[in-house]
Amino acid sequence: MSDTRPKLLIVEDDPGLQRQLRWAYDDYRLFIAGDRDEAIEMLRAETPDVVTLDLGLPPDPDGTSEGFAALADMLRIKPDTKIIVASGHGARDSALEAIAGGAYDFYQKPVDIDELGLIVRRAFHVHALEQENARLADSAPADGQVLGRLITSAPEMSRVARTIERVAHTDVSVLLMGGSGTGKALLAEGLHDASPRRDAPFVTVNCAALPEPLLEAELFGGMPGGGARAGSGRIAQARGGTLFLDEVGDMPLTMQAKLLLFLQERRIDAADGDAPANADVRIVCASHRDLEEMAASGAFREDLYYRLAEIVVRIPPLKDRPGDPALLARHFLNRMAQDLNPQVKGLAPDALAALDAWSWPGNVRELENRMKRAMIMADGKLITAADLDLDEDAADGDAVNLKAAREMADRRAIRRAMARTDGNISGAARMLGISRPTLYDLLKQYQMQG
C-alpha cells in the first residue's frame, strides 16, 4: 500500500540531530537533507508541504547565508511550502528576518521535540486549510471570488459555505441567521455571485436602519407615505438580481404585511396609473435575532417567515470556529500590512494565544477592527496581545458561571506561560506547575493549538 502520510523535509547538517528528528515524527514521511543543494533536489522531487530548515548549513555552518539562500530558493520553487526556521541561541533576529523573508515560523535551538512537533503539526494544518480555501476559490464561477472570499478552517463554517454553494443556483429564499459580524453580508454576496444572477445587481436594504415610511419608500420607490413609483425603489433596482434584506427581524409588522403582499404578487404598483411592474428578484434575508422563535411568539409574521426562510442557514459565532481567529488574523494582516504598516510580518505567540482565548462577542468584525488597531499600534515585526488590546485586563471577559470563569483563568495562565517561554511546552508546563502531558491535555481541551 502506498504511504499516504504527509511529507516533511528536514534540512539539518548535524548527524546527531538528524537521527533524533528521524525518530520523532511517526506521523510523517521524512526526508532529510544536509545542505542547500540536497534540500532543493528533495523539494523538487518530493514536494513536501512542510520543511524545517536549519539556517547554519555548510559551507557556512556558523553563519546564516546558506540557510537564507535555501529559504529563498525553496519559496521560489514552491511558494506554498511552510518553512519553519531553526534559530540558534541568541539568534532571534535572524529568525524574525527569516519570517520577513517568507518563512512560516521559527523555533529556537536546542530543539525541544514536543514544541517543534506542535509547530510542525500546525504548519501542516494551515497548509491544508490554505489548499482548501484555494479549492473553494477555484470552484467559484469564472468571474468571481465568491465563497473563496470566505476564510475558514472550521468544519461548521465549511458546511455553511457548501450549503450556500448548493442553494445558489436555485431560486429558493434563504435566511441567514447569526450574530453581528459573523459574515452574513459576505455570505449573501457570495450566494449572489455564485448564482446565475451574478451579472444582475445585488442590492442591500438594512431593515433596521429606517423608520417604516422611509423603509417603504426605499423598497418600493416613491415618496414616504405617497404611492409607489415603479422603477424607483430598491426592489426595482434589484430586478433580475438579488435583494438582500439585512436585519429583517427588525422590520415593523405593518411593513411585513406589505412585503408579504409583494412576495405573493411579485409586482410593484405604479402610483400614476401605469401598469404594475413585474419584479423578478431573488430574496436573501439575514437577522441576528432568532426569527423562528419570533414567528412562534407572534413578534414576526409566521406566513412571511415561511416565505423568507425556505432554507435557513445558521452561522456559528467565531468562538465556536476552532482555529479561525488565528487564520482570519493572518488573513487580515496580509490584507492590511501594505496600507497600514508594511514592517509587520506576523503574530507573536502571546497574540496567537490571546486570539484563541478571547470570546469574540463582535465576531469577525471585531477581529477585523482589533487587527486594524494592532497594525497601527505595532512597534515591531510581530503583533502582540497588547497591540490587539487583548492583554490581561481585556481578557477578563464575560464569564457567566464558575466553570466558565475557571476555564478563562486556565486559558489566561496558559497563554501567559506560553508567551513567557516563547511557546516552549516544557518550560510553560514547569512555570504552571503541571506536567507536560497535563498541559497537552489542556491545550487540546481548550483548542489552543490551532
Ligand X SMILES: Nc1ncnc2c1ncn2[C@@H]1O[C@H](COP(=O)(O)OP(=O)(O)OP(=O)(O)O)[C@@H](O)[C@H]1O
CB of 151 to ligand X, least distance (A): 4
CB of 152 to ligand X, least distance (A): 5
CB of 122 to ligand X, least distance (A): 20
Bond into 59 cis (ω within 30) = yes
Listed residue (8, 20, 16) closest to 51, CA to CA: 8
Residue 321 CB-half CA count within 13 A:
25
- Please say which residue, 268 or 367, places its beta carbon nearer to ligand X: 367
Other CB atoms within 10 Å distance of the CB of residue 239: 17
Residue among 126 and 432 whose Cβ is closer to ligand X: 126
Which residue, 236 or 328, has its beta carbon nearer to ligand X? 328
Contact indicator for 124, 50 with CB cutoff of 8 Å? yes
Query: Under a CB-based contact definition with an 8 Å cutoff, are residues 362 and 325 in contact?
Result: no
Are 334 and 203 in contact by the 8 Å Cβ rule? The answer is no
The runs of H, that is alpha helices, within 341-435 are 349-357, 363-377, 402-420, 425-432
CB of 20 to ligand X, least distance (A): 40
Our CB check for ligand X shows the closer of 56 and 148 to be 148
Q: Decide if 383 contacts 375 (C-beta within 8 A).
A: yes
What's the min distance (Å) between Cβ of 386 and ligand X? 23
Asked if 45 and 33 touch (Cβ cutoff 8 Å), the reply is: no
Q: Which residue number has the CB closest to ligand X?
A: 183
**Neighbour-count burial for 323-345, b at 16+ CB within 10 Å, e otherwise:** bbbbbbbbbbbeebbeebbeebb
Q: Which positions touch ligand X (CB under 6 A)?
A: 150-152, 178, 180-186, 288, 328, 364-365, 368
Residue whose CB is less far from ligand X, 179 or 241: 179
CB of 1 to ligand X, least distance (A): 37
Query: DSSP state, 149?
Result: G
Nearer to ligand X, 282 or 415 (CB): 282
The nearer residue to ligand X, 183 or 423, going by C-beta atoms, is: 183
Q: Which is nearer to ligand X, 178 or 349 (CB)?
A: 178
DSSP secondary structure of 232-259:
SSHHHHTTTSEEEEETGGGS-HHHHHHH
Helix (H) or strand (E) holding 166: helix 155-168
Find where cell 396609473 sits. Answer: 273
Among residues 182 and 341, whose Cβ is nearest to ligand X? 182
CB of 246 to ligand X, least distance (A): 6
Q: What are the residues facing 268 on neighbouring strands?
A: 277
State the Cα–Cα distance between residues 248 and 237, nearest whole angstrom.
19
Q: CB of 289: closest distance to ligand X in angstroms? A: 11
CB of 171 to ligand X, least distance (A): 22
User: 348 or 364, CB closer to ligand X?
Assistant: 364
Least spacing, CB of residue 204 vs ligand X, in Å: 10
Q: Please spell the DSSP secondary structure of 277-327, one letter per residue.
A: EE---EEEEEESS-HHHHHHHTSS-HHHHHHH-SEEEEPPPGGGSTTHHHH
